[in-house]
Amino acid sequence: MLNRNLVRFALVFGTAAFLLMTVSQNDTTRVSAFSETNPLLQKWEGPYGGIPPFDKVKVADFKPALEAGMAENLTEVEKIATNPSAPTFENTIAAMEKTGSTLDRVTTIYSIWGGNMATPDYQTVQREMAPKLAAFGDKISQNEALFKRIEAVYNSPDKNKLTAEQQRLTWLYYTNFVRAGARLQAEQKTRLSAINQELAKHFTTFGQNLLGEENGQWVVLKDEADLAGLSQSLKDAAAEAASSKKVAGSAGIVMNTRSSVDPFLTYSDRRDLREKVWKMFVNRGDNGDKADNNATIAQILQLRAERAKLLGFPTHAHWRLENAMAKTPERAMELMEAVWPAAIARVGEEVADMQALANKEGAKITIEPWDYRYYAEKVRKAKYDLDQNEVKQYLQLEKIRDAMFYVAGEIFNFTFTPVTNVPVFHPDVTVWEVKDKTTGKHVGLWYFDPYARDGKRSGAWMNAYRNQERMDADIKTIVSNNSNFIKGKPGEAVLISWDDATTMFHEFGHALHGLSSNVTYPTLSGTAVSRDYVEFPSQLLEHWLSTPEVLQKYAVHYQTGKPIPQTLVDKIAKAATFNEGFDTTEYLASALVDMKLHLAGDQKIDPDKFERETLAALNMPKELVMRHRTPQFGHAFSSDGYSAGYYSYLWSDVITADAFGAFVEGKGPYDKAVGAKLVKNIFSVGNTIDPADAYRTFRGRDPKVEALMKKRGFPVSKK
């Protein structure tokens, strides 16, 4: 997953304009008095062209800083809109690129707090500011004089004299203003803005409800008997969690987060507790209480459908996909439906294997969803003799991080050096300077925040704190990777699963996408590409985890230091597509429901019922659930972000699998020539060219789906 810069995204992508209201004149004058003392409003100082002042952030400063930033930005934009000179690229589009730098810095830190340190006082600010930010975005995208100027530059015959990057930027501004309602009548604009503010409130409610349930619910493991089947490191993590939540007199707790729940479901011998934990997890946001998200979702869907109609699209999905690589929901559906039958057929085989094993053990059970991970693990052991716990002993968090640095050195020619002279928002965060290996030149900074904590949202993501650009000066990027590993005892190596190591490489792929950026304009920088393309660089990087170069040197035993034995590596390779039925089906079920919810138009939707009926129509196997059930589907409902866009992971993975083929057909994963081509055509170009064109330049043709089917171990259809 990846976080985008709130404001830049808002202005240019139209979509997040919908994340983003009005600052009353009174407020503005009142807050300007703060600007001298509010550290959030100051230019970033210190080394590396300035760094975020995390050591000076106080939650109380957010509101006045956001308001002052918005006011400043509106003044800057108004100056462009009312410029008496005839509109040109420089005095309109390039000028727009230079606006909002204060607000950019403020919202960057504001959203970092939202993801990592969402304390109750922060959440109060968030509830108040979300609709205001939404209205602010609309104020810009609905500025008629400004749009007329953008339109004039877009339609001018002089456009052809601009560089390709400038032409693309002009197109993007024009399209996104149109997509955000610039051509609507005044009355429609007012309604659109009201919808966006309403949505922003609902997104905040949705996210806060979810966070509340993840941080506030757990299952208590009373005594040693409740720990049956768990490894020592899982027992320690459960005990740590209990002490952090001050649950006295227990052997530990299972938190209501994926990183606590999944391992428990995989290893706990206690079927009764597995059921309890599973039910807690899949019912997040769906408990009929104050934190129930169903009514919020129904309202979000209605508002999105109304907005799409207002903007001239049949549904929210059509509006969302217009600028994506897929272009239409039909094309995205076509891909998902092509893969679905193979995925559920594989689930059938997996369940049969698990049932047979359970019968052989005399378990006298029928496989239920809370048994899937547990018996899958047993089958994995029996069939492939592969024990995830054994693998884990070779996967230390810090060594995997070093392995990522190694790959970045080989393919991207980067070096990573720790720096200690910059402030961080939590002592767990480390900072690294990235340089070019050959020239020693500064490339950017990478912040790494690996551990779970209260107020931090679950999952793993990448964020850009500053985008690379060189409009006026050579600005270097600052990026971060964040995840939720459970911190073990002090001084002990944190052992992670193969899946977790894969996720680390994935997020690092986003970071490298940001770090490789080599563009002129900030809006086109780094990861600012279409949603269904942005997961391609990250998913591609996952492939390097299993290369012998990485495994031999970095997958070393946490006690003996010996590299992972080849026999174990062979087993991992052999089991690579194991449980792919489960993985693809739980993902695709979410992606299909997301798309269908947003293709349903403005009919009134009961999310629970819709989910049930849609899954039944798809013949969803009863032994598993969606990876993200609707009431907890943050991708779709905590912002517009991945709404009608969860398919993107599959879309991108088609490209990924096909792209890795270029290395396989070459000299292998470390083929320097292919690597250089990859950086030049994909990682460094940001959104300066159409992604389909960029890919064709890299690969010599369009991506084909066959490589994906093969990668997942599914039969390749002869169509």
Phi, psi of 463, deg, nearest 5: -140, 145
Nearest approach in angstroms of CB 335 to Zn ion is 18
Give CA 355 to chain center in angstroms: 35
Stretch that binds Zn ion, among 146-154, 211-219, 538-546, 704-712 (CB under 5 A): 538-546
Q: What is the largest CA-CA distance in the chain?
A: 84
The residue type of 234 is L
Please, are residues 241 and 486 in contact by the beta-carbon 8 Å criterion?
yes
Cβ nearer to Zn ion, comparing 1 with 70: 1
Nearest approach in angstroms of CB 461 to Zn ion is 7
The region, left, alpha or beta by phi > 0 then psi within -120 to 50, assigned to residue 19 is alpha
Number of residues interacting with Zn ion: please give it, by CB under 5 A.
3
Concatenated DSSP letters for 256-284? SSHHHHHHHHHH---HHHHHHHHHHHHTT
Nearest approach in angstroms of CB 288 to Zn ion is 33
Cβ nearer to Zn ion, comparing 147 with 508: 508
Helix or strand (DSSP H, E) at 445: strand 442-451
The residue type of 677 is K
Q: Which of 507, 535, 580, 586 is catalytic?
A: 507
Nearest approach in angstroms of CB 648 to Zn ion is 9
Nearest approach in angstroms of CB 2 to Zn ion is 5
The residue type of 9 is F
Is 507 annotated in the active site? Answer: yes
Nearest approach in angstroms of CB 536 to Zn ion is 10
Cβ nearer to Zn ion, comparing 504 with 595: 504
Torsion sign across C-alpha atoms 146, 152, 155, 156 = negative
Nearest approach in angstroms of CB 28 to Zn ion is 38
Cβ nearer to Zn ion, comparing 63 with 506: 506
**Distance (Å, rounded) from C-alpha 282 to C-alpha 631?**
9
Helices (H), 443-543: 498-515, 531-542
Residue nearest to Zn ion (CB): 538
Nearest approach in angstroms of CB 539 to Zn ion is 7
**Distance (Å, rounded) from C-alpha 455 to C-alpha 166?**
41
Cβ nearer to Zn ion, comparing 374 with 647: 647
E strands along 231-371, which residues?
252-255
Please, are residues 684 and 692 in contact by the beta-carbon 8 Å criterion?
no
Query: Could you tell me the CA-to-CA distances from 146 to 35, 83, 84, 168, 631 in Å, in that order?
Result: 27, 9, 12, 18, 39
**Distance (Å, rounded) from C-alpha 238 to C-alpha 474?**
47
Cβ nearer to Zn ion, comparing 258 with 271: 258
- Which one, of 385, 412, 420, 316, lies nearest residue 642 by Cα? 316
Cβ nearer to Zn ion, comparing 520 with 525: 525
Cβ nearer to Zn ion, comparing 1 with 678: 1
Nearest approach in angstroms of CB 19 to Zn ion is 19
Length of the chain: 719
Cβ nearer to Zn ion, comparing 217 with 483: 483
**Distance (Å, rounded) from C-alpha 511 to C-alpha 76?**
31
The region, left, alpha or beta by phi > 0 then psi within -120 to 50, assigned to residue 152 is alpha
Nearest approach in angstroms of CB 653 to Zn ion is 11
266: Cβ contacts below 8 Å, ≥ 6 apart: 373, 374, 376, 377, 388
Nearest approach in angstroms of CB 60 to Zn ion is 33
Q: How many CA atoms lie within 13 A of 343 on its CB side?
A: 24
What angle separates helix 120-141 from helix 186-216, to the nearest 10 degrees? 160
Cβ nearer to Zn ion, comparing 377 with 653: 653
Record the tokens describing residue 646, joined without a space: 């969860």
Among 477, 538, 643, 656, binds Zn ion (CB under 5 A): 538
- Which one, of 584, 575, 545, 572, lies nearest residue 709 by Cα? 584
Pairing type for strands 461-466 and 2-3 reads parallel
Site map (CB under 5 A) of Zn ion, residues 349-388, x = contact: ----------------------------------------
- Which one, of 230, 623, 579, 233, lies nearest residue 384 by Cα? 579
Q: How many CA atoms lie within 13 A of 520 on its CB side?
A: 13
Cβ nearer to Zn ion, comparing 477 with 538: 538
Burial of 438 (0-12, 13-18, 19+ CB in 10 A): exposed
467 binds Zn ion (CB under 5 A): no
| Contact set for Zn ion, span 478-537 (CB under 5 A) | 535
DSSP 469: B
**Distance (Å, rounded) from C-alpha 310 to C-alpha 182?**
12
| Active site residues per annotation | 507
Would you tell me which residues interact with Zn ion (CB under 5 A)? 1, 535, 538
